[in-house]
Structure 1
Amino acid sequence: MALLQPLTDLAEICYAHGMRHVVISPGSRSAALTLAFVRHDGFKKHVVMDERSAGFIALGMAQQLNMPVVLICTSGSAAYNYAPAVAEAFFQQISLLILTADRPSEWIHQLDGQTIYQADIYGKHVKKSFTFSSDYTHQDARWMINRTGNEAAILAQSKPFGPVHINVPIREPFYPSGEEIISVSQEVRVVRKTESEATLSVETWHDLLNAWDSFDRILIAGGQHRSSERLSHALAKISEELDVPVLGDSLTNQKGYQDFLTYQDVFLPHANTDKLRPDLLITYGLSFISKAFKQFLQKNPAIQHWHISEDSHLVDTFYSLNRQIPVSAEYFFENLFEKIDYQLFVQGSDPENDTSYKAHWKANDSNAGVILRQYLDNLSVLNDLTSVNLLINSIPEGAQLHIANSMPIRYVNALGNHVSHVEIFANRGTSGIDGCVSTAIGAAMVTAKPVFLLVGDVAFLYDRNGLLIQPLPDNLKIVVLNNSGGNIFRMIDGPAALPELENYFETRHNFTAKRTSEDSHITYFEADNMETLKDVLSVFLQTDKTSLLEVFTDPVENAKTWKGLKSYVGENW
């Protein structure tokens, strides 16, 4: 009997816990898992033949839904191909429930096909890994599968979010006979976890506020974070009314307040850091893009550094952490402002921190913005930076912009508040180039917003298999910066001076995205000069189908322009 009742019930457990999307990569040993979800009417099913792309498509979906997406694959190397997406989901704190079919344990390392060591295959890159019993008939085994299914579903949705793995050994036969009917059993039991919000005690708040009052120069900085109106509003009030500088990368998605600092990548290498060093540093979110900012804080450590995070893992990026506060950023900054504001009202006093400190940060930020705009206005030749600037200023407000790693994310981050009208996403958990196309596809599949992907040619070619799914979402638009190789290696000092640059670092090539677009029925546009790009971009933006714009640039010109920006800022500082 190939329809295994506990696996049928597992699908029902996932549905009961709110999961609605399942991404399936075809295979034989996973047939019972596949059928359990396919024949359940509550799931939207997505078939992706390449498991690496499937993992990232599921990640893109879960990123938008804030809900686990189920992944199903067969045994052997198929499971390993999920690994890049699983690692990215772990460090980006995105929920996935990974179901990998497997051989029974006695057949591991017995020269049987598609058999590898799958238990704990993702190591520390999952919140937890479970393995079912290969006996689906014994009462204890059914009880264990029911309990484990609930535990995995709860764990995937508990903060900090992340991927959870269930390895599922299955014996032959794999396929049911025609008369077998799949239905949920009476044994299904759903276990729910009561949600709670982490808060701080009155005593803790007194301690924090006393510490706050003891520092003159206070800096708030955000790493990668989902767009949050509540958070942006609270931070804006702190910055405006308490004169505290608030800084964020493009991925921080701080929106709606003109005094948020965004040009740190541009000005920190040239600024007077003595005036910018914080006494108290308060950070939130995940990783920071700006290398200049990280180096600045590592060389100028704060006296105290508080990090706001519900993650139990201690992260000390800036060599100065001495307090981890396990609450949400929204809760912390809303309460921080309310308590300080009330305290000042009762005392009838003004903030005691150094108000000139914010003025120094703001002056540097404003000056950097002016110099950057001057530099961009003087550029007339098509290159990666001018292409990205033109694209950013053309994307409609409220759209999503997904950005590939390597140079695209660095270009966007240097443009500061030019991107304040869109929500930014990027796979900065591991910062790899793999999966950026598939992640954007997954996001577009579950949101009605326009989804733009800015990607380099190497990252695009590396992840073309994500485009094998049909149909592709109509709201997806892809911009490929094709400079015939890994252009970032011309930008950094080490490989740029080596004679092996082109063959072993840049990996020069002559491929384009045109044939891939034809194969995937994507409307294709191309441009190789500024005038053409401006004309084509207008049509590209108005196209109501999946479309791709390929911009051809010269790697030497790109390196000259990027390094020229840094020189121009230094000369005009």
Structure 2
Amino acid sequence: MLYPKNPLAQTVIQLCKAKNIQHIIISPGSRNAPLTIGFTNDPFFTCYSIVDERCAGFFALGIAQQLESPTALVCSSGSALLNYYPAISEAFYSDIPLVVLSADRPNYLIGIGDGQTINQKDVFANHILFSANLKLNFENAPKNPNENEPAIIKSIENKLERILGVKQELDDENETKINTAINKAISAHGPVHINIPFEEPLYETTETLDVKPKVIDIEVKKRKIDDFFIQECYDDWNSYSKKMILIGANQPNKVEQHILDELAKDNSIIVFTETTSNVHNKHFFNSIDKLIAPLSEEDFKKLQPDVLVTFGGLIVSKKIKQFLRKFQPKHHWHIDKKNAYDTFFCLDKHIEATPNQFFNALLPRLTHFVKSDYKPYWSDIKLLREEKHQLYLNEVPFSDFKVFDSILKALPEQTVLQLGNSSTIRYTQLFDLKKTISVFCNRGTSGIDGSTSTAIGCSKANKIPTIFITGDLSFFYDSNALWNNYIPNNFRILLINNQGGGIFRILPGHKNTKKFDTYFETTHNLTAKQLCKMYDFDYDIASNERQLKAQLKVFFEASNQPKLLEIFTPRTLNDDVLLDYFKFIK
């Protein structure tokens, strides 16, 4: 087997292997040649070539999201690295492990006008768990014109001893930094950056490994929730008759079922779940906006909880955030091992544990349920909302709202659903989903920039089919995602094309003006037809309800190529249908 001759590249690659980082996403370049040679020649690694670094970052994120273990990104020096930033920030706020391996020029070539160089050190400082800036041995540093030795060496006395001593010191320092970075990505679930300077020559290979780096194991810190702390929570829990649990994004099957069943029995508890929470129970409230959007001031006071418990990722529903910021609970507890976001400006307990750990410690202490009509009252309203929801669907014309209803009902069981941001995730939150469907969305930063690339990465990591629902602006923005040789034939894209940024039409502000159309809604006449032809996707369209239902009957069937169904909806009607919906269900 061939190895890169560069010892620093050998060190990085061996430590990635020792830490079981198998999936390596490489963007082409020259400075990263030692890494590319090493990873692609070792059968342990599964390597992918993605030209566009922004797409590569989100593709890697999609794989890591599904495997719940780090993937590695490899790029050349210069601006290539900066294109990872959107995916890095998403990984940072969504707790997804990524290891960025960036090639760099030696330090003496930075800032002197040499080509393809930027200041790569700590470039992701505000959105990274750890930055490892590796160092080169000084053997190849430029000569001082007045001396025969490298400028860094001021004396020739004991030259050999000094070189060997400094080299060993640098090797130890580099190995420690690499170990620390990868361990952090694994243990703290987030992105890390390892910046690696390479001196030319870059393409030399060898048949032997010249280094054997030390492997530093992850320190496992076992945390036990303090008994006094649990008793304090128990006392508060049993003192109040209105308790609300709000669940954000979660991996499927993360919360033990007996906990969910126990919470569902308690009439003093309302459990609000978002589409991305992947938590299901018929007694939970799964369409938050459907319930609370039509509420009056008096209703909000009735819904206002005494205790609010939150866990999971960031919350999609803007309406629940507005409600809980205005009608704050007496207590807000957030359960998370790492983060304690004070989303509602009233956080008083950060429970540094998993939901399973906390509720398994709390629930056995409960000898009785607090008498309350909190959940029964709102359950009745929930039923009324669902009846009105169906009545509205029966009378509205073909529109985004109608399309989401048809699509979500047609989704096959046991599939992975990836959602685009903006309108897509918000419409989906208004509908019921089958319990066997796992749902994901890039809600860390809520950007539209990499949704398609993430979905494709997800589809590559999964054997079960991945279905991606997206809007037109998000899809066209990330169209380079299709420049990818790894898209499975069972991957499906449902593209809802309403000829612009439809979400802006439901936000405050003047619409139907030239400035609005150009700078906010960003109207267009683009279609995905030619992109599908170029990237070998099966392509079909639907422009009315009859066509859509006919297409959905065959769209999810097995095929010899991935498929895209483009659904055209009326641009100037969609916003009225949605806004009227909230009035109607009231």
SS in 1 for 2:550: helix
Whose radius of gyration is greater, 1 or 2? Answer: 2
Distance 1:144 1:23 in 2: 26
Task: Check the 8 A contact 2:4/2:10 in 1, yes or no.
Answer: no
Report how far residue 8 of structure 1 moved: 1.4
Distance 1:225 1:280 in 2: 21
Report how far residue 543 of structure 1 moved: 3.4
Report how far residue 508 of structure 1 moved: 1.3
Q: Which residue of 2 aligns with 1:170?
A: 198
The one-letter code matched in structure 2 to 1:553 is T
Distance 2:69 2:91 in 1: 12
Q: Does 1:267 align with 2:270?
A: no
Q: Does 1:206 align with 2:227?
A: no
Q: Which residue of 2 aligns with 1:475?
A: 490
Report how far residue 15 of structure 1 moved: 1.5
Report how far residue 286 of structure 1 moved: 1.6
Cα shift readout 1:180-205 (whole Å, capped 9, x = no counterpart) = 32544452221112434432022221
Q: Does 1:359 align with 2:369?
A: no
Distance 1:11 1:186 in 2: 11
Q: Which residue of 1 aligns with 2:206?
A: 181
Provide closer, same or farther for how the CA distance between residues 282 and 196 of structure 1 changes in structure 2, counting only shifts above 3 A.
same
Distance 2:585 2:267 in 1: 30
Q: Does 1:337 align with 2:363?
A: yes
Q: Which residue of 1 aligns with 2:342?
A: 316
Task: Check the 8 A contact 2:243/2:270 in 1, yes or no.
Answer: yes
Report how far residue 498 of structure 1 moved: 5.2
- Runs of 4+ aligned structure 1 residues displaced above 4 Å come to none
Q: Does 1:551 align with 2:567?
A: yes
Provide closer, same or farther for how the CA distance between residues 216 and 183 of structure 1 changes in structure 2, counting only shifts above 3 A.
farther
Q: Which residue of 2 aligns with 1:114?
A: 116
Task: Check the 8 A contact 1:480/1:551 in 2, yes or no.
Answer: yes
Q: Does 1:566 align with 2:568?
A: no
Q: Which residue of 1 aligns with 2:506?
A: 491
Structure 1: gaps spanning 5 or more residues: 345-349
SS in 2 for 1:443: helix
SS in 2 for 1:414: coil
Q: Which residue of 1 aligns with 2:157?
A: none
Q: Does 1:301 align with 2:328?
A: yes
Distance 1:187 1:408 in 2: 49
Provide closer, same or farther for how the CA distance between residues 202 and 553 of structure 1 changes in structure 2, counting only shifts above 3 A.
same
Task: Check the 8 A contact 1:231/1:334 in 2, yes or no.
Answer: no
Q: In structure 2, which of residues 152, 165, 169 is the aligned counterpart of residue 140 of structure 1?
A: 169
Q: In structure 2, which of residues 41, 65, 80 is the aligned counterpart of residue 63 of structure 1?
A: 65
SS in 1 for 2:501: coil
The one-letter code matched in structure 1 to 2:494 is V
Deviates more, 1:16-25 or 1:470-479: 470-479
The one-letter code matched in structure 1 to 2:120 is Q
Q: In structure 2, which of residues 377, 400, 411 is the aligned counterpart of residue 395 of structure 1?
A: 411
Q: Which residue of 2 aligns with 1:369?
A: 386
Q: Which residue of 2 aligns with 1:34?
A: 36
Q: In structure 1, which of residues 226, 245, 250 is the aligned counterpart of residue 275 of structure 2?
A: 250
Give the TM-score, by structure 1 length. Answer: 0.93
The one-letter code matched in structure 1 to 2:543 is D
Report how far residue 425 of structure 1 moved: 0.5
Q: Which residue of 2 aligns with 1:155?
A: 184
Distance 1:495 1:120 in 2: 43
Distance 2:18 2:451 in 1: 31
Structure 2: gaps spanning 5 or more residues: 140-166
Deviates more, 1:497-506 or 1:551-560: 497-506
Cα shift readout 1:328-386 (whole Å, capped 9, x = no counterpart) = 1122123322232xxx1xxxxx322x42011122222222222112211223x322111
Distance 2:555 2:63 in 1: 25
Distance 1:196 1:65 in 2: 23
Task: Check the 8 A contact 1:275/1:360 in 2, yes or no.
Answer: no
The one-letter code matched in structure 1 to 2:105 is R
Provide closer, same or farther for how the CA distance between residues 190 and 2 of structure 1 changes in structure 2, counting only shifts above 3 A.
closer
Distance 2:210 2:224 in 1: 40
Task: Check the 8 A contact 1:95/1:156 in 2, yes or no.
Answer: yes
Distance 1:374 1:420 in 2: 24
Task: Check the 8 A contact 1:72/1:98 in 2, yes or no.
Answer: yes
Task: Check the 8 A contact 1:96/1:156 in 2, yes or no.
Answer: yes
Distance 2:257 2:268 in 1: 15
Share of identical aligned residues, percent? 33
Distance 1:237 1:520 in 2: 49
The one-letter code matched in structure 1 to 2:380 is A
Provide closer, same or farther for how the CA distance between residues 226 and 136 of structure 1 changes in structure 2, counting only shifts above 3 A.
farther
Distance 1:16 1:119 in 2: 25
Provide closer, same or farther for how the CA distance between residues 293 and 559 of structure 1 changes in structure 2, counting only shifts above 3 A.
same
Distance 1:475 1:141 in 2: 48
Report how far residue 402 of structure 1 moved: 0.7
Report how far residue 235 of structure 1 moved: 2.2
Distance 2:386 2:210 in 1: 63
Q: Which residue of 2 aligns with 1:282?
A: 309
